[in-house]
């Protein structure tokens, strides 16, 4: 690694800043993203592995002291700082102020600037990541110095949940993105990818696209706060089954939307919905990951893929019927990765549920302020422990349900008294268990049933009917048709070459 003296900006960094500024001024989307996603990380590896980039004040003279560009530079500066180093309290506050200034300009001024959608998504994503990081930092008072604790007391509004949610919601409201999505399902937005026609040299995509991505940001914030209903409501305008939506154009956004939506469904006991969303997300990753092997977000893609397979294993263990809706390659990979754990979970072994949940769950946060009068306290894991307890309690409540479901599959009609004998329980206890099964699997059961009174005998009976899940064979047949065409093309190639040689076509 090359070193440079304090206060001295390396020549390559000067060139980077100058060209970066020029491309932003010229609204050159392709070059902007190349420098943001590739050049910035290469220079970071070369010069700044263990140190921060030069301060914005050090590079301002090379970019005409442009205030907006310096804010964009600071956003990247703090992104690198969080990724490679451990930010201090002052740096966390400065990063918050940078986002407030940058967002304030985009929200309240007529900005003539186009930025790549990939950067705009990562701006929202990094904003939420730093919010999470600050909440965890603040919760570990036992690691803070008296000066840091005093500083934390003075910055109650910095990275507060209310302020973060307010910024995201303001982007949604001011962009009017919900009305646009309802108008045409996001078709026009997907066709232009949110970009303004470069020929007129005016206008900006920033507000509209940030408003769109803020919906996914709201999903994530609600999810890490444990508000799963609020998370799903945030995603209502976006259709995850729309394979041409704008979110599909930005890989990390697509993966994040699938991961957090699926997790919300899992925690709300909508296991079939969770399985479908995870399946879609994993099929997408399998299709595109080879094209991102050299990108800065490749490790994040692989990590989210493994987490989604772990969450999918949990959902399948709780709703085995959901395997019918899985794509062939996803089902194969799931067996290869978690066959033993799936077997243990069918036997209701809680440690396996605990292990997979702990590995794959989001990093939950406690939004409330810590008790500064008790500096030895550590509440950083309290939110995680609460969500884990809720999840494991749900598993324990379902311990008897697999046996009951197996009996229900054997009959189309059975008296309550006979079913109670088979289960080794009393009639009242069985009715309670049936109600529990109906409640817990209302949106994920492969078997539906109702308790009725037999008109002839006057005895209570359970009437059972199968719920058929329609499997989507479109992708399966499309893949095999493509393979067949490829094989036929290869088989016919020698004949075509021979014919071409005879006719002088070479």
Q: How many helices (H) and strands (E) does the chain have?
A: 23, 3
Averaged pLDDT of the chain:
88
- Model confidence at 3, pLDDT cuts 50, 70, 90, reads very low
State yes or no: pLDDT of 240 exceeds 50: yes
Ranking 119-128, 310-319, 373-382 by mean pLDDT, the lowest is: 373-382
Strand partners, 140: 378
What token pair was written down for 225?
């706060």
For residue range 447-472, list pLDDT tens digits in order: 678 888 877 777 888 888 765 545 55
Task: Look up the pTM and report it.
Answer: 0.84
From the number of C-beta atoms within 10 Å of its C-beta (0-12, 13-18, 19+), residue 430 rates as buried
d(C-alpha 246, C-alpha 242), whole Å: 9
Mapping DSSP to helix (H, G, I), strand (E, B) and coil, where does residue 308 land? helix
pLDDT tens digit sequence for 82-112:
999 999 999 999 999 999 999 999 999 988 8
Higher pLDDT, 290 or 3: 290
Quote the pLDDT of residue 340. 96
Q: What is the model's pLDDT at position 406?
A: 77
**What separation in angstroms does the CA of 295 have from each of 35, 118, 248, 490?**
12, 12, 17, 33
Predicted confidence (pLDDT) per residue in 107-116, tens digit: 999 888 999 9
pLDDT in tens, 487-498: 887 777 654 444
Other CB atoms closer than 10 Å to residue 294's CB: what's the count?
8
Long-range CB contacts (< 8 A, 24+ apart) of 57-63?
58/7, 58/9, 59/9, 59/13, 59/14, 59/17, 62/14, 62/17, 62/18, 62/21, 63/17, 63/18, 63/21
Average pLDDT, integer, range 310-330: 93
């Amino acid at each position: 690694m090359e070193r440079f003296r304090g206060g001295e900006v390396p020549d390559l960094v000067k060139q980077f800043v100058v060209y970066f500024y020029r491309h932003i001024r010229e609204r050159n989307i392709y070059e902007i993203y190349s420098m943001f996603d590739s050049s910035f990380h290469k220079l970071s590896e070369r010069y700044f592995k263990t140190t921060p980039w030069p301060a914005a004040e050090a590079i301002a003279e090379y970019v005409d002291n442009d205030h907006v560009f310096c804010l964009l530079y600071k956003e990247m500066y703090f992104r690198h700082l969080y990724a490679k180093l451990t930010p201090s309290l002052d740096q966390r506050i400065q990063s918050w102020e940078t986002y407030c200034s940058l967002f304030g300009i985009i929200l309240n001024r007529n900005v003539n600037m186009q930025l790549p959608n990939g950067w705009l998504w990562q701006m929202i994503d990094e904003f939420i990541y730093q919010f999470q990081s600050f909440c965890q930092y603040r919760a570990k008072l036992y690691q803070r110095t008296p000066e840091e604790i005093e500083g934390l007391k003075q910055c109650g509004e910095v990275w507060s949940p209310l302020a973060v949610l307010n910024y995201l919601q303001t982007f949604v409201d001011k962009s009017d993105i919900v009305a646009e999505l309802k108008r045409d399902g996001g078709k026009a937005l997907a066709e232009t990818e949110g970009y303004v026609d470069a020929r007129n040299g005016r206008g900006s995509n920033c507000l509209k696209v940030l408003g769109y991505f803020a919906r996914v940001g709201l999903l994530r914030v609600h999810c890490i706060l444990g508000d799963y209903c609020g998370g799903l409501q945030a995603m209502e305008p976006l259709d995850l089954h729309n394979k041409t939506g704008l979110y599909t154009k930005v890989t990390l956004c697509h993966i994040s939307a699938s991961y957090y939506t699926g997790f919300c469904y899992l925690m709300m006991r909508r296991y079939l919905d969770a399985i479908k969303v995870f399946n879609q997300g994993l099929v997408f990753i399998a299709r595109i990951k080879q094209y991102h092997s050299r990108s800065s977000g490749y490790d994040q893609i692989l990590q989210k893929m493994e987490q989604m397979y772990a969450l999918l294993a949990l959902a399948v263990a709780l709703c085995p019927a959901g395997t019918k809706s899985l794509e062939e390659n996803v089902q194969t990979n799931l067996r290869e990765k978690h066959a033993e754990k799936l077997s243990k979970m069918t036997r209701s072994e809680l440690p396996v549920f605990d292990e997979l949940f702990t590995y794959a769950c989001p990093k939950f946060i406690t939004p409330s302020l810590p008790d500064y009068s008790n500096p030895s306290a550590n509440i950083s894991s309290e939110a995680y422990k609460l969500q884990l307890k809720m999840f494991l309690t749900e598993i324990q409540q379902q311990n008897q349900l697999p046996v009951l479901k197996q009996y229900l599959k054997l009959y189309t009609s059975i008296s309550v008294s006979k079913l109670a004998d088979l289960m080794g329980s009393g009639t009242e206890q069985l009715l309670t268990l049936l109600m529990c099964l109906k409640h817990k699997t209302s949106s994920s059961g492969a078997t539906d049933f109702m308790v009725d009174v037999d008109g002839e005998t006057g005895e209570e009976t359970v009437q059972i009917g199968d719920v058929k899940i329609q499997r989507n064979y479109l992708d399966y047949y499309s893949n095999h048709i493509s393979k067949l065409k490829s094989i036929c093309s290869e088989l016919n190639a020698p004949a075509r070459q021979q014919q071409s040689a005879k006719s002088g076509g070479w």
